[in-house]
Structure 1
Amino acid sequence: MIVALLGYMGSGKSTVGKQLAETLDYEFHDLDSLIEKKEQKSISKIFEERGEIYFRKLESEVLVETLNSKREIVLALGGGTPCYASNMQKLQNGNTISIYLKLSITELVNRLSNEQWQRPLIREIPIKELPEFIGKHLFERGFFYNQADKILEVDGKSVAEQVTAIKSLL
């Protein structure tokens, strides 16, 4: 089985995913890292050199390869992955359970404002404009995120509490 974690950047997909994989004795993979390994380039370099359309096509290909691997994996998706190339339908393959780690705008702003410099998408956005930017993105992506098999509200929950909650959903 594959457990695919989805949600907005900063929602904890990789942090929770690593801990969940360890607890379940599954492999952990981050989709962006798999893409970088395949291309031998950073995501930002891929965007810079080849553009978003190329990246989204590649992202979908790597997702399908991973979903077809028949291994026990916890997979952290990129924040935009569910929104492109019918990727949500690809997750509905009978071998995968998708879980949306849902955070409030306030909590996302708190998390992302501390690591804004690491996030190219929000690096140049003034802190005071971050809630509106995130809110707009969540509105646009919500249609896709809410198609997940399970939705887990994670505001105020520790990583350990989230892992326990996810295990109860499996």
Structure 2
Amino acid sequence: MRIFLIGYMGSGKSFIGKRLAERIEQKFIDFDEEIEKIENLSISEIFQQKGEIYFRKLERKVLEQVLSQEQNAVISLGGGTPCYGDNMELIREANDAVSFYLKLSVQQLTERLFSEKDERPVIKHLQNKEELEEFIRKHLFERGFYYNQADHVIDCGGKDSEELITEITNRLR
């Protein structure tokens, strides 16, 4: 089975994904890391040097590769991956795949992302918490349609990683 973790940047997809993969003894694939390996550039550098359209096309190609492999894995997708083209439809229609939306509030995401915004190309330009919160609010409104198509929605608010992993593994049974 391929387990896809989706959600906004900062929602814990990679953090939870690594630990979930260990718990269920599966391979872990960090989607952004896969893209960085292919391009030999960071996500920020890809955005800067080649642009978002190039990045989204590459993202789609990598998604198709992951879906074509017959291996069990936990895959943490990039925050925008499910929201472009028919990527979410592709995931939903894949055989032996299940998706989980790791959902956090705008306030929780703002708190998590503010300290690391300089490493994230999409929010790097925002000057303060108010601008960041407004940006996240707008983005979540736009992306919610896609995120909520996940097979399972996990409310991550107030839960530690162990609770989240247990909730996900319980839903896999």
TM-score interval w.r.t. the shorter chain? over 0.9
Match of 1:135 among 137, 153, 166: 137
Q: Among all aligned residue pairs of Structure 1 and Structure 2, give the percentage whose two residues are the same amino acid.
A: 51
Q: CA deviation at 1:61?
A: 0.6
Match of 1:167 among 161, 166, 169: 169
SS in 2 for 1:8: coil
Correspondence 1:28-39 to 2 at 5 A: 28-39=28-39
Q: CA deviation at 1:159?
A: 0.6
Normalising by the residue count of structure 2, what TM-score does the alignment of the two structures yield? Answer: 0.94
**Residue 96 (str. 1) matches residue 105 (str. 2):** no
Q: CA deviation at 1:44?
A: 1.8
Question: Runs of 4 or more off by more than 3 Å in structure 1?
Answer: none
Distance 1:119 1:99 in 2: 23
Correspondence 1:7-86 to 2 at 5 A: 7-86=7-86
Residues 45-100 of structure 1: CA distance to partner in whole angstroms, max 9, x if unpaired? 22222211111111011011011111111000000000112110111212210100
RMSD: 1.0
Residues 100-131 of structure 1: CA distance to partner in whole angstroms, max 9, x if unpaired? 00001111111112222222222221222221
SS in 1 for 2:3: strand
SS in 2 for 1:99: strand
Matched to 1:105, the amino acid is V
The residue that corresponds to 2:117 in the other structure is 116
- Count the aligned residue pairs: 170
Normalising by the residue count of structure 1, what TM-score does the alignment of the two structures yield? Answer: 0.96
Q: Is the 8 A contact 1:82 1:145 kept in 2?
A: yes
Distance 1:120 1:47 in 2: 7
Q: Give structure 1 stretches of 5+ with no counterpart.
A: none
The residue that corresponds to 1:149 in the other structure is 151
**Residue 107 (str. 1) matches residue 105 (str. 2):** no
